[in-house]
Amino acid sequence: MSEHQLTTGLNAYWLLNLLENLSNLSIGPDADTDDITQDLVLQFLKEGFQTIVAADPVWPWFQTTYGLNTIPGTGDYISGFTRETTSSPVVQQGVPVSFSDIAQITNIVNSTNSGNSLIYIAQDKAQATWIGATDQTNIPAYWSLWAGYLYLWPRPQATYFMRINGYRKPSLTWLTVPDNAESEDYVDLPNELQLALVNWTMMRIYQFQEDPEMSKVYSQHFAASLANYQDNLTSPNANQPLVLSGGLQLNKLSWWGNPGFGVYTGSPYPFAQAW
């Protein structure tokens, strides 16, 4: 494996190479001469990848910010989005995408109008509100989802820039280039979850080889690697190992509308005040 691969990511070619070394089996295109076919192992990889992704719909790796310039008079959008930033270094940023790239929306902010945050509304409620004579254009204040479209309510009366925070859909394109050692289409998972993917695939390989003992070992490794990563994500920060009162921070003598507290000495009973 080249130094380039070690410092950037793991593509399908080197992933298959690693699996071949771990299993001591030949993985290739010929079912007659190879111990297991490459197509079957790729299917195991896809299966494991989708299992990991489904374990938590909001992995930080998939956090993404999108941009959308509205079209005056148009309230429904399936295209025109831009993937501005994302947590993953292996996915292109600053590129146009369709609405199908977005898996979940956390919030939408109208950056053109003082950053007002749009409110989610059910599609049927929005359609019953903006109908007939009331379906007038204005500054959007609500958003809804229906049939693969993003709807803004009311329909925008001008061009506004909407900043959309959410989670993108995972990419499976790395599975399509298993024979290219120099491919930069890397596995769309953080390094820690790539270990879980290897463990899952080894479990399935040994199931195929009818070796239940080794399959069970890798099944346990998979569960442990996935749980360890989830525990690491939810562990408390070092500067706040214990969170009380919903994480409210009280800064001593912090005025001008910020939370704070003060202690006023006196005899025999001191007086304390929080705000």
Residue at which a domain ends, from 168, 200, 222 = 168
Mean pLDDT confidence for 137-157 = 96
Number of domains in the chain: 2
Same domain, 123 and 95: yes
SS (H, E, C) the chain: CCHHHHHHCCCHHHHHHHHHHHHCCCEECCCCCCCEEHHHHHHHHHHHHHHHHHHCCCCHHHEEEEEEECCCCCCEECCCEEEEEECCCCCCCCEEECHHHEEEEEEEEECCCCCEECEECCHHHHHHHCCHHHCCCECCCEEEEECCEEEEECCECCCCEEEEEEEECCCCHHHHCCCCCCCCCCCCCCHHHHHHHHHHHHHHHHHHCCCHHHHHHHHHHHHHHHHHHHHHHHCCCCCCCCCCHHHCCCEECCCCCCCEEEEECCCCCCEEEEC
pLDDT per residue over 81-130, tens digit each? 999 999 888 888 999 999 999 999 999 999 997 778 999 999 999 999 99
Same domain, 69 and 29: no
User: In this structure, is residue 259 part of a structural domain?
Assistant: no
Same domain, 152 and 194: no
Same domain, 91 and 142: yes
Residue at which a domain ends, from 168, 200, 223 = 168
Same domain, 203 and 147: no
Over the chain, what is the mean pLDDT?
87
Which residue range is the domain that position 221 belongs to?
A: 3-58+190-234
> Cα angle vertex 102, ends 123, 59, to 5°?
115
pTM, two decimals, is 0.80
Mean pLDDT confidence for 180-199 = 93
Same domain, 12 and 110: no
Same domain, 19 and 110: no
* 256, pLDDT greater than 60: no
Same domain, 160 and 105: yes
Same domain, 101 and 196: no
The confidence score (pLDDT) of residue 34 equals: 87
Same domain, 148 and 198: no
Model confidence at 67, pLDDT cuts 50, 70, 90, reads: very high
pLDDT per residue over 25-45, tens digit each? 999 988 888 899 999 999 999
Model confidence at 75, pLDDT cuts 50, 70, 90, reads: very high
Same domain, 71 and 159: yes
Same domain, 65 and 124: yes
